[in-house]
Structure 1
């Protein structure tokens, strides 16, 4: 196979690994990986200190995001996430943070799946 101009072997291997991982993802998880989550309020609970604990749930994949808010609604600290099964890569894949090229591979995986399900338009 011919090498892509400006690509080194490490990048090509990364594209292969990310592409293979993306093809194995459940379509709902793949959409969240590509488009980001579709957060919806799940519940909020008043805390002893007058602040709030708020939980958001993704309507596509089921991941959950837990936020702590002060009494004025300002975020306190960083949110904690509970990811849906299959959202995170297996430990042996060790993908780390996805970069812009990785996200491009996810977009292509979504398009390829959509096109596989949609029948071709009739020829004119």
Structure 2
């Protein structure tokens, strides 16, 4: 069976409902990366690892001796990615994540401030 090109918005909605607020925020606003590790590689070049302060995803950079990027990859925490074969999450799907993130923020802020929703 062919994989869908675009994720069904109802599937994205169901997936978003399973995600913690920190994952929703990263999917909405992007990762808040900071330095995690860096070291020279045996044989030359470097590896640099950045880590998201919120969801803990890692971005790995493989650099040559002149610090040109050879390769990059991500290492996501368990549960961050949708099931393989879901399809690409388009504008409508990103709106689902944004809406879920905003509602989670409202809930969190209401609890902190003792407000009623």
Normalising by structure 2, report the TM-score: 0.79
**Distance apart, 1:120 and its partner CA:** 4.5
**Distance apart, 1:115 and its partner CA:** 2.5
Q: Which consecutive residues of structure 1, in runs of 5 or more, have no partner in the other structure?
A: 1-12
Aligned match of 1:101: 92
**Distance apart, 1:21 and its partner CA:** 1.1
Residue 26 in structure 1 maps to residue 20 in structure 2:
yes
State the structure with more CA Rg: 1
Aligned match of 2:62: 68
- Aligned-partner Cα distance in 2 for 1:73–1:62: 24
Query: Does the 8 Å contact 1:63/1:81 carry over to 2?
Result: yes
Q: Runs of 4+ in structure 1 displaced over 4 angstroms?
A: none
Q: Which consecutive residues of structure 2, in runs of 5 or more, have no partner in the other structure?
A: 1-6
- Aligned-partner Cα distance in 2 for 1:114–1:16: 22
**Distance apart, 1:112 and its partner CA:** 1.8
- Aligned-partner Cα distance in 1 for 2:92–2:42: 45
Higher strand residue share: 2
Which structure exhibits the higher relative contact order, with contacts defined as CA atoms closer than 8 Å and separated by 6 or more residues? 2
Normalising by structure 1, report the TM-score: 0.75
Report the aligned-residue RMSD.
1.9
